[in-house]
Amino acid sequence: MDAGSVGLLTDHVAAPVNALLGNMVHAAAGQAYLEWTRYRDAGELHRQLVVPHEASDRRTFDATMQCAARIAVTHSISQGAAERIVDTAVALRDRLPKVAECLRDGKLAPRYVRVIVERTDLLIDRDAQQVVDTEIAAALRRRGSWSPSRIRDMVDRSVYRVDPDAVRARRKAAVDARGFWTERLEDGMARVEATSTAEKAIQISRRVDALARAVCDKDGRSLAARKSDAHFCLVMGVAWECQCGGDESCDAPTVPDPEAPAVRDLPGAGTHMTLHVICDLETVAGDGETPCFLDGYGVISPAHLDDLLTEPGVQIAPIGHSDDPLAPHTPGNPYRPSTALDTVVRARSLYCDVAGCERPAWVCDIDHIHEYDHDHPAHGGQTCPGNTGSKCRLHHNLKTHTAFLDDQTIGRDGRIQSVIITPEGLTVDGPAFDGTDLFPALKDIQFTAPQNAPPLANPTAEPAPTRRRPRLADKHARRQTEREHNRRTREAEEQAARDAEDDSPPPF
C-alpha cells in the first residue's frame, strides 16, 4: 500500500523536523495496532484450539503447549516467548478488554502491555477485574505521556484500591524468595546478583554511586566500572582510591590511614541514609489501606510501610495537616523553595516531569518553570507551586542550555499539566500520572503568596556543559579501538597457528 493511504509521509527527504517526528509517532501507533492484531488473533487461536480441551486436558503436550508451538514455529521464536504471547492474549481478551482497545487505538505502547498483564494477574473476582480494567483504560486515554514506572504505579494503585489481597500475597512471596547468586560470564567476567527489599536495594545503590563518584576528572574508568569497583570495596572493606595515577591536581578524597581502610572518610562510607516515603497519616496510624510510595522504587503496600516504620531512626514529618497556609520559599531568599514546597513538589511529581524520564523525584532538582529574574524578582517566575517542578539534572540542563522549553498549568481539577517544547516548537505532554493520583490531598495544600526580596548578590550564569570531544568522534574512536583489538587478536591467532605448523614433525 502507498504510505500516504495510511497517513504516513510519502516523501521523508527534507521534510520538516516536526513532520518527521509526527510521522514516527503515527508509525508507533500503527505498531500498537499491529501488536493488538497479533494478540487478537492469538486469542482466537486459543479459543479454537485450547478452550474446548483445557478443562480436562492432562497431557504433557497439552492444547496450550501445542497452540504456543504453532506460534513459535511461524514466528521463529522460543516456546517460552510464544507461551507468553498466548498468556497475554488471553488476559487481554478475558480480563482486560478495555486495555486491549487502548492498544488497538494507539493509546498504549506495546512494551507496557506485559507490565499491566503481570501486575493484574492475581485479580480473580470478575467484578474486580472489570473495575481495574476500566480504571486503567481511563488513565491510558488521558492526555499525557507514560514511562515504565508511571505505568507500574498507576496499575498498582488501582489493584491496591480494588483488591489489596491481590498484591499482599505477591509481596510476601517476593520477600521470601530473596537471594544472592553469581553467574559466570565470558572473558573471565562474572555477574553478582541479589534480590532484596526495595529500601535495602536503594541504600546499596546510593552508597555505591556516592563512592564511585569520589574521584577526580582524570580517573580513566567509566562510571559503570567505578560502581563495580566501589561495590567490591564496600563489601570487602578495601580502600577506595582514585586511579588518576597520582596527578598533583587530584581533588578526590584520600584514605587517612592506609593500614586501616575501614576508617576512611569518603562519601557513601557512613551508615546514615535517608529514604523518602509518601503516605497519609491514617495509614501511618494503622487505620488506612491507601497505598504508599517509596521514592526510588514506586508504590508499596501499607504492610510494607509497617515494616519500614519499625526501622530505627524513622521520622514522620506531616505536611499540610493544618489549615494555615505554608510558606513557599525561605524567609530571606524568595528564590529558594521552602522545605514544605520542596516536599510537596517532589511528592506531586514522583519522578522527573519530562516525558519518559525515570529519575526519582528526590534526586532531581526543583526547577522554576518560568525563569526567576534575579535582577527584577517581581518580573521573573515566582517560587510557588504553580511555577516549580521536578527535573533531573540532565533535563534541567537541557532546558537551561538549549532551545528546549517547558510550561505547566494547573487544571480545574487541581492537577498539574506540564509540557516540554522542542526547538522546532513541537509540544509534548508531560506525565499523565503523578502523585496527586495516589494522594489527592496534595492538591488541597495551600501556600501563601510568594514575597519578593532583593536580588541575589552577583548572580552568575552557569556555563553550558561540554563534551571532551563530539559524540560522533567518541563513537568512531570506540569502533576503531574495537577493530584494532580484533585485528591484533586475529593476527596473534594466525601467528600461533603458523608456529604450530613449523613445530610439527615431517609427515613420514
pLDDT at residue 187 in the model: 80
Dist. CA 472–CA 313, nearest whole Å: 49
Helix residue ranges, H only, 402-468: 435-438
Dist. CA 100–CA 105, nearest whole Å: 9
pLDDT at residue 262 in the model: 38
Please name the residue that has the C-alpha cell 528546549.
404
Dist. CA 299–CA 154, nearest whole Å: 9
| The three grid cell numbers given for residue 229, joined into one nine-digit string | 569497583
pLDDT at residue 438 in the model: 93
pLDDT at residue 506 in the model: 47
Q: Contact at 8 Å (CB) between 431 and 418?
A: yes
Dist. CA 295–CA 347, nearest whole Å: 9
Q: How does strand 365-368 pair with strand 329-330?
A: unpaired
Over its length of 508 residues, how does the chain's per-residue pLDDT go in tens digits? 777 887 888 888 889 999 999 999 999 999 999 999 999 999 999 999 999 988 888 887 888 888 999 999 889 988 889 999 999 999 999 999 999 999 999 999 999 999 999 899 888 889 999 999 999 999 999 999 999 999 999 999 999 889 877 766 677 777 888 999 888 888 888 899 999 998 899 999 998 998 898 888 889 999 999 999 999 988 888 888 888 887 778 888 765 544 444 334 445 444 567 889 999 988 998 888 889 999 988 898 888 898 889 888 889 989 887 788 999 999 888 899 999 999 999 999 999 998 888 889 999 999 999 888 887 777 778 899 999 999 999 889 888 888 888 999 988 888 889 998 888 888 889 999 999 999 999 998 999 988 764 454 554 555 555 545 454 455 445 545 554 555 566 677 777 777 766 655 544 3
String of DSSP letters for 271-282: S-----EE--HH
Angle between helices 97-104 and 79-94 (to 10 degrees): 110
Phi then psi dihedrals of residue 139, to 5 deg: -65, -40
Quick: pLDDT tens for 435-484: 999 999 999 899 998 876 445 455 455 555 554 545 445 544 554 555 45
Quick: pLDDT tens for 142-151: 999 999 999 9
Dist. CA 154–CA 135, nearest whole Å: 9
String of DSSP letters for 312-324: TT------S-SSS
pLDDT at residue 168 in the model: 63
String of DSSP letters for 84-139: HHHHHHHHHHHT-HHHHHHHHTTSS-GGGHHHHHHHTTT--SHHHHHHHHHHHHHH
pLDDT at residue 257 in the model: 46
pLDDT at residue 474 in the model: 52
pLDDT at residue 169 in the model: 66
CA nearest to 154, candidates 443, 434, 357, 390: 434
Phi then psi dihedrals of residue 22, to 5 deg: -65, -35
Q: Contact at 8 Å (CB) between 329 and 368?
A: no
Residue 355, SS3?
Answer: coil
Dist. CA 3–CA 255, nearest whole Å: 64
Task: State if pTM tops 0.85.
Answer: no
